[in-house]
């Protein structure tokens, strides 16, 4: 209705570094889940993936907080203050503790696994599951509790984050296992059963992930004006290329079709392509959610 003559531009707060941080914690949580499938829950089929999973989880979770430290204005002060001035109302306050506890637990779990101590591996693996859920779920809560933004402020956000974490983690594990088996083993034979089982899990997780996106957007489009506007911005506006094409079509729908068709799933070319597309799509999802969710000026 009105034409703006003068207004102050809102500074973009959380952009790419935070997206990369969320992406790394997601990959870490996803690969940790795979590694606990055999030692924690007794699915022996996934045993060859366990050691790789825990190593990937630890390395990615050591990398992830570096993006956070680059984002904040005062990196060293931030580490100290997060532990000394704890605010029980803030989701981000708990994150500092989770980001310390989860890699520590994963390292202990990994050491017992490599030493072959089954009992202790199981105990620390089972402790690690809620920690992995928390360390990635809390990133969803951080956004969900930013109540100013309707795109973030939904109870679905932590669950969407958990599912996208598992999806991207499994894709990364499929790629890593293929590379390891093909190039770094004596037999140079890829463990076909393991890859096929992981791909089947990936297929169903992608279905759930797409369903959650559908739930989220159907509610946004019927909700109040700010929510409708942000949904339009994502679906038809400037973000639509990244949201519709990159995140959902390339990142989720096409990989889902590939892994659901048995002939394509068993071909390594298509499976590797699906895993790569899915990992790229989830990275786009992090950027769309973190940056796109706050790109529209509020008033």
Partner 1 sequence: MSNPHKKENLGGKKLPRWGMLIDLDRCVGCHTCEIACKIENDVPLGIWRSWVKEIEKGKYPNVVRSFRPTLCNHCENPICVKVCPVNAAWQREDGIVMLDPHLCVGCRYCMSACPYEVRYIHPQKGMIDKCDLCSTRVDAGLEPSCVEACPGSARVFGDLNDSKSEIAKLVATKPVSTLKPEIGTGPRVYYIGLDTATMEIKREAKLVWEK
In DSSP notation, 270-281 reads: HHHHHHHHHHHH
Shortest distance in whole angstroms from residue 13 CB to partner 1: 4
Nearer to partner 1, 93 or 197 (CB): 93
43-52 long-range contacts, Cβ below 8 Å, gap at least 24?
45/193, 45/194, 45/197, 46/194, 46/197, 46/198, 48/177, 48/191, 48/194, 49/173, 49/177, 49/194, 49/198, 50/113, 51/110, 51/113, 51/114, 52/173, 52/176, 52/177, 52/180
Shortest distance in whole angstroms from residue 260 CB to partner 1: 34
Nearer to partner 1, 4 or 189 (CB): 4
Cβ 176 vs Cβ 51: under 8 Å: no
Shortest distance in whole angstroms from residue 25 CB to partner 1: 16
* Distance separating alpha carbons of residues 50 and 56, to the nearest angstrom: 10
Nearer to partner 1, 130 or 297 (CB): 297
Shortest distance in whole angstroms from residue 282 CB to partner 1: 20
* Distance separating alpha carbons of residues 96 and 77, to the nearest angstrom: 13
Shortest distance in whole angstroms from residue 101 CB to partner 1: 15
User: How crowded is residue 87: how many other Cβ atoms within 10 Å of its Cβ?
Assistant: 10
Helix (H, G, I), strand (E, B) or coil at 208: helix
Nearer to partner 1, 49 or 220 (CB): 220
Residues contributing to the site for partner 1 (CB under 8 A) = 1-8, 10-15, 71-74, 77-78, 81-87, 89-93, 95-96, 142, 145-149, 225-226, 229, 232-233, 237-239, 291, 294-299
Nearer to partner 1, 6 or 269 (CB): 6
Shortest distance in whole angstroms from residue 173 CB to partner 1: 31
Nearer to partner 1, 145 or 210 (CB): 145
């Amino acid at each position: 209705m009105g034409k703006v003559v003068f207004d102050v531009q809102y500074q973009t707060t959380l952009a790419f570094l935070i997206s990369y941080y969320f992406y790394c914690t997601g990959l870490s949580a996803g690969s940790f889940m795979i590694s606990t499938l055999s030692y924690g829950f007794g699915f022996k089929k996934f045993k060859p993936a366990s050691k790789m999973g825990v190593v990937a989880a630890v390395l990615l979770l050591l990398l992830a907080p570096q993006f956070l430290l680059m984002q904040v204005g005062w990196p060293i002060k931030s580490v100290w203050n997060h532990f000394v001035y704890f605010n029980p109302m803030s989701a981000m306050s708990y994150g500092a503790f989770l980001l310390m506890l989860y890699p520590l637990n994963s390292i202990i779990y990994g050491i017992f696994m490599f030493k072959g101590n089954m009992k202790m591996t199981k105990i620390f693996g089972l402790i690690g599951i809620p920690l992995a859920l928390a360390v990635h779920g809390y990133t969803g809560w951080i956004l969900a509790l930013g109540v100013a933004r309707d795109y973030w402020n939904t109870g679905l956000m932590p669950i969407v984050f958990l599912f996208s974490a598992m999806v991207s983690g499994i894709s990364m594990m499929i790629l890593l296992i293929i590379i390891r088996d093909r190039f770094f083993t004596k037999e140079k034979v890829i463990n076909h059963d393991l890859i096929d089982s992981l791909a089947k899990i990936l297929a169903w997780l992608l279905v759930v992930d797409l369903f959650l996106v559908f739930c989220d957007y159907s509610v946004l489009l019927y909700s109040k004006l700010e929510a409708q506007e942000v949904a339009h911005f994502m679906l038809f506006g400037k973000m639509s290329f990244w949201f519709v094409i990159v995140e959902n079509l390339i990142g989720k729908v096409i990989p889902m079709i590939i892994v659901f068709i048995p002939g394509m799933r068993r071909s390594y070319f298509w499976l590797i392509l699906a895993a790569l597309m899915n990992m790229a799509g989830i990275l786009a999802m992090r950027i769309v959610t973190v940056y796109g969710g706050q790109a529209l000026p509020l008033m």
